[in-house]
């Protein structure tokens, strides 16, 4: 059945149930001109927005299913919430849909949206649907909250800080290549690309343990590290041999001859966190959250990011994923 056969309101009726996972904060949800929700005393609100475009950010049947697209559209927004140290609470979304799209595929898309929202107790408050002639476009606006004055920005890095990251880097970019080549193996890499995990719990711990700056790695380590250096007016010196990489990434790079560091610095969509923090606070944090790695330090100097590779030191420019470059993903 095509979307044209049930129309916009028939589609809304088909997906509007099971959208509130923390209903105590919702006054009016789906079904009116606008949603109304209650905010928490002593908290400030965080708002983020992101868009995914078919055949640019995903290729159905090759890099993603419709379920995957729905899940990832929300995950990328929740990662931005995590990168402020906040707790996600609500979202609204807009979908531009081809009139030839199957209703079953749209239901699958929204099942992915609902499943990740259920996991993180995020309410779906409503949205909009319009027609697209060029494939599906989905835009998600997510909202969160954080204690007043506690939001962690990119601009707070201090000379003497440790630079650290969560988990492993480069898996998502490699996972994309695995999917594009239709390779049967490397399930970790593929899953990392299709089902990124927003680092919300770590973001909250970074508030508790007084991190000075924070960014999520959506466009590659080089880009995100440079954003911190520029915003904070500091220099980051990264130790190449400290940057954590998974065994699957090493195996894929060895099998294909592709440079592992291209994935790490420029691959993007890992949705891990990069942060700067005092030495003592890092040690305390690592005891309760061991899946973090010190990869460098904040030092004095002209703003920028430099990598120490043995005896060689060189600058790394912000050359990650660029939505307006000539190169297509």
* Predicted pLDDT of residue 327: 44
Backbone angles phi, psi at 242, to 5 degrees: -95, -15
For residues 92 and 26, what is the distance between their CA atoms, to the nearest angstrom? Answer: 13
Task: Return the percentage of the chain with pLDDT > 70, whole number.
Answer: 92
Same domain, yes or no: 245 and 112: no
Mean pLDDT, rounded, of the chain: 93
Same domain, yes or no: 122 and 14: yes
Same domain, yes or no: 142 and 165: no
Does 154 belong to an annotated binding site?
yes
* Residue 12 domain-assigned (yes or no): yes
* Residue 152 domain-assigned (yes or no): no
Instruction: Return the DSSP state at 151.
Output: P
Q: Are 145 and 46 in contact (CB under 8 A)?
A: yes
* Residue 323 domain-assigned (yes or no): no
* Predicted pLDDT of residue 99: 86
Tokens of 294: 């010190």
Same domain, yes or no: 297 and 184: yes
Does 80 belong to an annotated binding site?
yes
Instruction: Return the DSSP state at 39.
Output: P
Same domain, yes or no: 266 and 188: yes
Tokens of 2: 């095509």
Does 110 belong to an annotated binding site?
yes
Tokens of 128: 């909009």
Does 261 belong to an annotated binding site?
no
Same domain, yes or no: 288 and 243: yes
Give the domain range for residue 249: 161-316
* Predicted pLDDT of residue 285: 98
* Residue 127 domain-assigned (yes or no): yes
For residues 88 and 144, what is the distance between their CA atoms, to the nearest angstrom? Answer: 4
Same domain, yes or no: 248 and 126: no
231-251 pLDDT, tens digit per residue, is: 999 999 999 999 999 999 999
Does 218 belong to an annotated binding site?
yes
Does 50 belong to an annotated binding site?
yes
**pLDDT band for position 326 (cuts 50, 70, 90):** very low
* Residue 311 domain-assigned (yes or no): yes
* Predicted pLDDT of residue 7: 62
Does 269 belong to an annotated binding site?
yes
Q: Are 89 and 43 in contact (CB under 8 A)?
A: no
165-211 pLDDT, tens digit per residue, is: 999 999 999 999 999 999 999 999 999 999 999 999 999 999 999 99
Q: Are 169 and 295 in contact (CB under 8 A)?
A: no
Please tell me the pTM assigned to this model.
0.91
Find the length of the chain.
329
Work out the average pLDDT over 117-143.
94
Residue carrying structure tokens 């601009």: 155
291-300 pLDDT, tens digit per residue, is: 999 999 999 9
1-55 pLDDT, tens digit per residue, is: 666 666 655 666 666 677 788 889 999 888 778 889 999 999 999 999 999 999 9
The string of DSSP codes covering 156-174 is G--TTPEEEEES-SSHHHH
Q: Are 133 and 53 in contact (CB under 8 A)?
A: no
Does 128 belong to an annotated binding site?
yes
Does 57 belong to an annotated binding site?
yes
Number of domains in the chain: 2
pLDDT greater than 70 at residue 110: yes
For residues 104 and 307, what is the distance between their CA atoms, to the nearest angstrom? Answer: 49
* Residue 42 domain-assigned (yes or no): yes
Same domain, yes or no: 300 and 199: yes
DSSP H stretches of helix in the chain: 3-15, 66-82, 103-119, 171-180, 187-194, 200-208, 221-232, 247-256, 260-266, 279-288
Same domain, yes or no: 141 and 167: no
Same domain, yes or no: 172 and 278: yes
Sign (positive or negative) of CA dihedral 292, 297, 302, 307: negative
Same domain, yes or no: 130 and 168: no
Give me the half-sphere count of Cα atoms (radius 13 Å) on the Cβ side of residue 283.
2
């Amino acid at each position: 059945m095509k979307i044209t056969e049930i129309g916009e309101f028939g589609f809304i009726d088909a997906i509007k149930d099971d959208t509130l996972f923390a209903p105590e904060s919702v006054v009016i949800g789906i079904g009116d001109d606008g949603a109304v929700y209650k905010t928490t005393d002593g908290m400030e609100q965080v708002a983020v927005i992101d868009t995914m475009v078919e055949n640019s950010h995903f290729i159905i049947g090759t890099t993603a299913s419709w379920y995957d697209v729905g899940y990832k559209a929300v995950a990328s927004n929740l990662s931005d919430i995590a990168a402020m140290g906040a707790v996600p609470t609500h979202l609204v979304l807009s979908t531009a849909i081809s009139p030839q799209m199957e209703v079953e595929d749209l239901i699958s898309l929204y099942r992915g949206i609902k499943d990740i929202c259920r996991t993180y107790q995020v309410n779906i408050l409503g949205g909009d649907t319009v027609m697209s002639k060029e494939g599906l476009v989905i835009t998600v606006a997510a909202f969160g909250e954080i204690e007043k004055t506690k939001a962690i920005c990119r601009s707070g890095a201090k000379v003497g800080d440790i630079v650290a990251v969560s988990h492993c880097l480069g898996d998502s970019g490699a996972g994309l290549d695995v999917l594009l080549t239709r390779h049967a193996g490397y399930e970790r890499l593929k899953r990392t690309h299709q089902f990124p995990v927003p680092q919300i719990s770590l973001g909250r711990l970074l508030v508790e343990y007084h991190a000075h700056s924070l960014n999520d790695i959506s466009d590659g380590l080089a880009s995100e590290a440079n954003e911190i250096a520029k915003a904070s007016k500091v220099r980051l010196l990264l130790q190449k041999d400290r940057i954590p990489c998974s065994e699957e990434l090493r195996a894929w790079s060895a099998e294909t001859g592709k440079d592992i560091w291209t994935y790490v610095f420029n691959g993007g969509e890992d949705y891990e966190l990069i942060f700067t923090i005092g030495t003592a606070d890092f040690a305390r944090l690592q005891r309760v959250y061991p899946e973090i790695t010190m990869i460098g330090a904040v030092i004095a100097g002209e703003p920028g990011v430099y990598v120490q590779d043995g005896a060689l030191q060189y600058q790394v420019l912000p050359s990650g994923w660029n939505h307006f470059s000539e190169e297509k993903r």
